Amino acid sequence: MNRPTDFHIKNDREESDMKYLEETIKNIKEINRPIKEKALIRLSEQARPAGSLGILEGVAARLAAIKGTLDVRLEKKVVVTCAGDHGVVEEGVSLFPQEVTCQMVENFVNGGASINVLARHAGASVRVADFGVNKDFDPGMPIFHKKVRKGTSNFTKMPAMDREEAVKSINAGISIVDELVQKGGVDMIGTGDMGIGNTTPSSAIIAAFSGIAPEKLTGRGTGITDAMLEKKISVIKHALDLHRPNPLDPIDVLSKVGGFEIGGLAGLVLGAAAHGIPVVCDGIISTAGALIAWELAPTAGEYLFAGHRSVEVGHGFMHERLNLVPILDIGFRLGEGTGAVLAFNLMEAATRILAEIKTFEEVAITNAQKNS
């Protein structure tokens, strides 16, 4: 059941935007539970000790339920790296200047970033989306041009964005999935991010929803000093005290302490779920977007996978709230979608586990587990 949300419809444009979001949420259906049960039975009857392949068994069963078949094929894989700038960078919460965001977008497009290398290894394509970078990119640049505004406002002084902008950023993410589906289709989506300073709003988001103190949720992001970490925590506390985001209203949380790319990431999750596509979130920023989506539409969580657990302390709290077990835990803290795309390989392996490992009956091996 969806959380109660007061959307404050103000005008025809905002009403139209809300209808698009609400229709997307209505289109999110529960996964195929009979298929999931069949998958779990087959996994339990395979010629190996029960549970011996760990979390991949649950991954396989959920993918089968999403796709409606025991023989899942994940051939068209896309990572969407969402970019945006943040006004709160003015408060000294990052080691890097804001200009790095647009420079990294160009690096993604040119194929030279970490996500490009790892995506090639996984047989996935990388698409970049500008939701709020503080630069006007050439319209011909091969990215998703979804800019809401050139960076959020400094949320220590005013809300990061207004409600209309928050909804627009979510809808922009939904529209990307619609475009991917219309232009050749997609079997699995990974979400990634790029935005200097964006671990600060991400930590603020989980603090707003959970009520947990920011000092327990806030990490070092790009590797800031102790003094900068103290500053970052104080900035989040101040923003939460100033704006009082309503945890029962995800759009209020996003608008007051979020980011345009975080809204876009939420939209990707909602759009993927509405189209019946599994979506793999990356680090703390991608998971903040997934959290916004889940708070708006809990059923979307059935399509959501946690690619990895980063070293950012707030990430684990997000996974707990979303009831997700990360596929990988390898000390990553980069973002871009790198952890998500590495999980692609294991998720594809999970589909082969389900479809190809023979059962005891199929290979005529005595099942000691059943006979004991």
Closest CA to 124 of 191, 171, 62, 68: 191
pLDDT confidence of 366, banded at 50, 70, 90?
confident
C-alpha to C-alpha distance for 206 and 227, rounded to whole angstroms: 22
Strand (E) or helix (H) holding 267? helix 260-274
Closest CA to 194 of 119, 100, 269, 121: 100
- Over residues 117-138, the mean pLDDT reads 98
pLDDT of residue 368: 64
Cross-sheet strand order for the sheet of 304-306: 144-145, 125-132, 77-84, 188-194, 279-281, 304-306
163 Cβ partners below 8 Å, 6+ apart?
Answer: 7, 8, 14, 251, 252, 255
Q: What are phi and psi of 55, to 5 degrees?
A: -70, -15
Catalytic site residue 336? yes
pLDDT of residue 337: 98
CATH code of the domain occupying 75-348: 3.40.50.10210
C-alpha to C-alpha distance for 164 and 9, rounded to whole angstroms: 9
More confident residue, 347 or 8: 347
- Whether residue 3 has pLDDT greater than 50: no
Amino acid identity at 106: E
Strands (E), the chain: 77-84, 125-132, 144-145, 188-194, 279-281, 304-306
pLDDT, tens only, 228-248: 999 999 999 999 999 999 999
- Whether residue 44 has pLDDT greater than 60: yes
C-alpha to C-alpha distance for 165 and 151, rounded to whole angstroms: 11
C-alpha to C-alpha distance for 280 and 313, rounded to whole angstroms: 19
- Whether residue 5 has pLDDT greater than 70: no
- Whether residue 269 has pLDDT greater than 50: yes
pLDDT, tens only, 76-109: 999 999 999 999 999 999 999 999 999 999 999 9
- Cβ atoms of 289 and 231 within 8 Å: the answer is no
- Whether residue 251 has pLDDT greater than 60: yes
pLDDT of residue 365: 80
Closest CA to 278 of 309, 308, 307, 304: 304
Of 91, 164, 336, 348, the active-site residue reads: 336
Amino acid identity at 265: L
pLDDT of residue 12: 72
**Which position has the token pair 């795309």?**
341
pLDDT of residue 254: 98
C-alpha to C-alpha distance for 372 and 369, rounded to whole angstroms: 6
- Over residues 260-270, the mean pLDDT reads 98
pLDDT, tens only, 325-340: 999 999 999 999 999 9
pLDDT confidence of 6, banded at 50, 70, 90?
very low
pLDDT, tens only, 134-165: 999 999 999 999 999 999 999 999 999 999 99
pLDDT of residue 222: 78
pLDDT of residue 13: 72
SS3 232: helix
> pTM of this prediction?
0.94
- Over residues 342-346, the mean pLDDT reads 98
Q: What is the CA radius of gyration of the chain?
A: 21
- Cβ atoms of 61 and 70 within 8 Å: the answer is no
pLDDT confidence of 11, banded at 50, 70, 90?
low
pLDDT of residue 4: 42
- Cβ atoms of 81 and 114 within 8 Å: the answer is no
Least confident of 54-68, 214-228, 321-335: 214-228
Give the bridge partners for 139, in sequence order.
none
DSSP state of 126: E
pLDDT confidence of 15, banded at 50, 70, 90?
confident
pLDDT confidence of 369, banded at 50, 70, 90?
low
- Over residues 310-328, the mean pLDDT reads 96
pLDDT of residue 91: 95
Closest CA to 345 of 63, 77, 128: 77
pLDDT, tens only, 181-204: 999 999 999 999 999 999 999 999
What are the structure tokens assigned to 282, written together?
């990356």
Give the Cα-Cα-Cα angle 161, 170, 293 (nearest 5 degrees): 110
